[in-house]
Structure 1
Amino acid sequence: MMAAVMVASCPKSTILHNSICPRDPNSGFLGGSSFKSISLQLKPKSTRRDGIHLVVASASKTSSDSASASGGGGGGGRFYINFTGFPFPLGPFLSRRTIRTEAVKGCIWLFEQEQALGFSSVSTNIRMTVIKLKSGGLWVHAPIAPTKECIQLVTELGAPVEFIVLPTFAYEHKIFVGPFSRKFPEAQIWVAPRQWSWPLNLPLEFFGIFRAKTLQDDDLSTPWADEIEHKVLSSPEVGIGPYVEVAFYHKRSRTLLVTDAVIFVPRKPPECITKESLLASAKNGLAVKILSKGRDLPQEPVVDNNMNRQKGWERMVLQILFLGPSNLLEPKASFAQMSQKLIVSPIVKTLVFSKVPEKVRDWINSIARDWKFKRIIPAHFAAPINAGRSELLAAFGFLDELLGEGYVTQPSLWLLFTSLMGKAASYFPPDDMKTLSSLDQFLVSVGAVKKTVSGRKRQSVTN
């Protein structure tokens, strides 16, 4: 989500990628980013050349105790050098703790790591989902950094990794597909269609993703089609490139998997976010000072307590979602407005989905029509979310206002749910949206993003 926001916000950057020649087949690679990448190699395993690639990350070969099933491995098992996305790199840069939880008993597991925005105190969680197939193998959705701890937690499931899936074009999810796949060389790699990078649109092989197969919309020929179905959202270009995301439905557990389409912000911070990050965000730093407009702010050290950790979390969320930056001084009211409910992230809604409402509406309607899910697992914030079709439609209720009465594809019952729940789910106070609305207007005015992009002709109302 962070990388998608940065790509949308900084499309005119002239920063180019660095190309270097790695010698370690377990090194990491970058794809789908508009930013420069840098990598450090540690203890290469061999001297075999793999060609020219864009290297961004490398897991070290350190010795440490095995990670426990709860994600409590030693610090050495969490070591991972990661300097990517200049000038807005995605941290943490040296250590990533992995938390594993069981979402559906004996069937679905969630793996989470912290994801930080550059050198700031802004963090969220990034999630990999693993499903055990009837074959006994594992299906991996949106890989995270393959630290020693993370790989140990995967292998403890006692099953081979058969498939690795990249469900989006987004940089933060693409970055670890290469290094993760080299930990499981027998696994097949499947990727969302229309992968792109900027400023050079290079093939996936340049980013360390080899022998990848492309997911096609509603394709029933995938090896897992009898257990997991998928639908592709592939929009026209909304700026420097298209928005592409693949939703998956695990039939046996009635679980919907998405990447950035919807989120559920929890009241408390995810376990993988460190207390140091939370307390740093709670401090009256540079951003808060600027927004205080000369107000005298306390500068004493922040005491480590639950109140300050919560304040740090609330400030983080508002900055991640671009909501009410002026409310960073007192974030509780704005945080309460958008937390504890299924929503479309305000920044994705404003900069992406509002540009292609027909395409998004068709995708969501198809998901709600064909899949009877009872839980949703996104790639960020809380999961699993106990939510079904009515909650998903309500989260996208803003599309009805954009499309108007001339575009009706939903059955009347779903329209009723959307009208009752949609306004509450997608509404944010105007004061909270000021900065994001201004950013959108600016990007449209300079041609960085488009005002609207028609996905197809609108249908007339059917009686």
Structure 2
Amino acid sequence: MKQRDILWRYWPLLPIYPYSKRRTLRQEVLKNTIWTFDQVQGIFYVVVPIRMTIIRLETGGLLVYAPVAPTAECISLVRELEAEHGEVKFIVLPTISGLEHKVFVGPFARKFPQADVYVAPQQWSFPVNLPLSWLGFPPKRTYTLPQPYNKNPFGEEFDYAILGPIKLGLGAFGEVALFHKPSGTALVTDSVISIPKTPPESVQLDPYPLLFHARDSALDKIEDTPENRIKGWQRICLFATYFQPDALEVPTFKDTLQEAKQAPDRSKKAYYGLYPFGWQPHWQESFQQLQGNGRLLVAPILRTLILNRAPRETIKWANLLVSWHFERLIPCHFQAPLQVSPREFRQAFSFLEKEELPINQPKFPLPQEDLAPLKNIEETLEKRKLVPPRGEKL
């Protein structure tokens, strides 16, 4: 693989790690039928997988769900599938607010001029609400998915279900789940995740972020060991889901600068020695509660700030997905594919109900101490009327 094959020249549109250099990992989920394409992205080396899924159509051709950065490497991997299974016919943007998904759709669609682009209803952008054509979407072949469902543009092999839009003051949240009937596979975007104990292969293509966060202070050297990769990954998961978990200690600015001056690596790559983090011993217990043996869960930010604004609508959407009786679930982040039951999926949304569904497995309640910063954010946003109040539990 040549270095230029992984370059993403439009990275300033979303200036987050890994910036212009993005590796792509393709995995065949179901032989000659479903493939995932994983890249990584994040801020301050808090990197998690972002995933595109491609499904072969029974009538010939391919459907693309949630495009990733169309680097030369990524497009080459898609072209290999086109050569064997037919051209890309559909491109689906399944979210209305997720810039990490939306920013890639226009450039990706230009690589496949024969494909129709379908987007979730009521798209918006921040800080200025721009038309999709200004964001690079091809205007003559971009369509909004019908809502309510009246005509399926993808044919009889697919169903889809739209959550939202859930109004959030400045904007809205929405997600399109897609069900491939022949394989019994459901695709979702951000609604649920499953966190592995060890870092996924896509994250280990460049282990530096893992090793960066495995340190206990800026004075520690970067050392590549299996233990440090796991340690760094688990801390990254706490950052990515809670932002400020209870076990995190933030030193003063003065102490951070003093340590930076003594750091063994003061290069640009190491943020000039800056490492404003410390961890209390119970961070591992916090991760275990979050990870919950790989159970499905709604990410803390979604359950604290978004989905609890519309419990009834969310539960209705979750019940519709349960009715699909899917055998396999592929989210756009963290672990995939997942061999989970519809009941396990439905259980993930029990926090929206007064009585949780009974389950025959250990329970892993999220620590209230870890949720406290998000709840403080929620309280501030509600006071300033930037988000609507919580909906009543069912």
TM-score when normalising by structure 1: 0.72
Q: What one-letter code is carried by the residue in structure 2 that aligns with 1:84? A: L
SS state of the match for residue 249, structure 1?
strand
Structure 2 matches for 1:81-92, cutoff 5 A? Answer: 81=9, 82-85=11-14, 89-92=15-18
Q: 1:325 to 1:384 in 2, by over 3 A?
A: same
Instruction: Write the distance in 1 (CA, Å) between the matches of 2:135 and 2:23.
Output: 25
Instruction: Write the distance in 2 (CA, Å) between the matches of 1:332 and 1:95.
Output: 31
What is the CA-CA distance between 1:243 and the residue it aligns to? Answer: 1.0
Question: Is residue 419 of structure 1 aligned with residue 358 of structure 2?
Answer: yes
1:102 to 17, 20, 28: 28
What is the CA-CA distance between 1:272 and the residue it aligns to? Answer: 1.8
What is the CA-CA distance between 1:448 and the residue it aligns to? Answer: 2.2
SS state of the match for residue 232, structure 1?
strand
Structure 2 matches for 1:175-194, cutoff 5 A? Answer: 175-194=103-122
Instruction: Write the distance in 2 (CA, Å) between the matches of 1:438 and 1:395.
Output: 23
User: Match for residue 74 of structure 2?
Assistant: 150
What is the CA-CA distance between 1:422 and the residue it aligns to? Answer: 9.6
* Structure 1, unpaired ranges of 5+: 1-72, 285-296, 405-414
User: Match for residue 309 of structure 2?
Assistant: 355
Instruction: Write the distance in 2 (CA, Å) between the matches of 1:421 and 1:90.
Output: 41
Q: How many residues align?
A: 351
Question: Is residue 172 of structure 1 aligned with residue 92 of structure 2?
Answer: no
RMSD: 2.0
User: Match for residue 259 of structure 1?
Assistant: 189
Q: 1:139 to 1:220 in 2, by over 3 A?
A: farther
- Any idea what the Cα deviations from partners look like across 1:314-358, whole Å, max 9, x if unmatched? 111111101662324143211111211111111111110111111
CA contact (8 A) 1:112 1:126 kept: yes
User: Match for residue 161 of structure 1?
Assistant: 88
SS state of the match for residue 248, structure 1?
strand
Instruction: Write the distance in 1 (CA, Å) between the matches of 2:315 and 2:361.
Output: 13
- Any idea what the Cα deviations from partners look like across 1:231-258, whole Å, max 9, x if unmatched? 1111341231121111111001101110
Structure 2 matches for 1:245-324, cutoff 5 A? Answer: 245-273=175-203, 274-284=206-216, 299-322=219-242
Q: Which moved more, 1:327-336 or 1:177-186?
A: 327-336
* Structure 2, unpaired ranges of 5+: 249-278
- Any idea what the Cα deviations from partners look like across 1:78-122, whole Å, max 9, x if unmatched? 01131234xxx33211200000001111100000001122xx121
User: Match for residue 338 of structure 2?
Assistant: 385
In terms of fraction of residues, the more helix-rich structure is 2
What is the CA-CA distance between 1:431 and the residue it aligns to? Answer: 1.7
SS state of the match for residue 175, structure 1?
helix
Instruction: Write the distance in 1 (CA, Å) between the matches of 2:151 and 2:120.
Output: 15
CA contact (8 A) 2:245 2:371 kept: no
- Any idea what the Cα deviations from partners look like across 1:136-187, whole Å, max 9, x if unmatched? 2000000000000000111111221111000001111000000000010111
What is the CA-CA distance between 1:283 and the residue it aligns to? Answer: 2.8
TM-score when normalising by structure 2: 0.84
Instruction: Write the distance in 1 (CA, Å) between the matches of 2:350 and 2:177.
Output: 19
Question: Is residue 441 of structure 1 aligned with residue 379 of structure 2?
Answer: yes
What is the CA-CA distance between 1:445 and the residue it aligns to? Answer: 1.9
Structure 2 matches for 1:103-118, cutoff 5 A? Answer: 103-117=29-43
- Any idea what the Cα deviations from partners look like across 1:430-452, whole Å, max 9, x if unmatched? 12212222222222222222222
User: Match for residue 260 of structure 2?
Assistant: none
CA contact (8 A) 2:17 2:45 kept: no
What is the CA-CA distance between 1:453 and the residue it aligns to? Answer: 4.9
- Any idea what the Cα deviations from partners look like across 1:43-71, whole Å, max 9, x if unmatched? xxxxxxxxxxxxxxxxxxxxxxxxxxxxx
Instruction: Write the distance in 1 (CA, Å) between the matches of 2:115 and 2:161.
Output: 22
User: Match for residue 24 of structure 1?
Assistant: none
SS state of the match for residue 201, structure 1?
coil
CA contact (8 A) 1:264 1:342 kept: yes
User: Match for residue 348 of structure 2?
Assistant: 395
What is the CA-CA distance between 1:391 and the residue it aligns to? Answer: 0.3
Instruction: Write the distance in 2 (CA, Å) between the matches of 1:271 and 1:184.
Output: 28
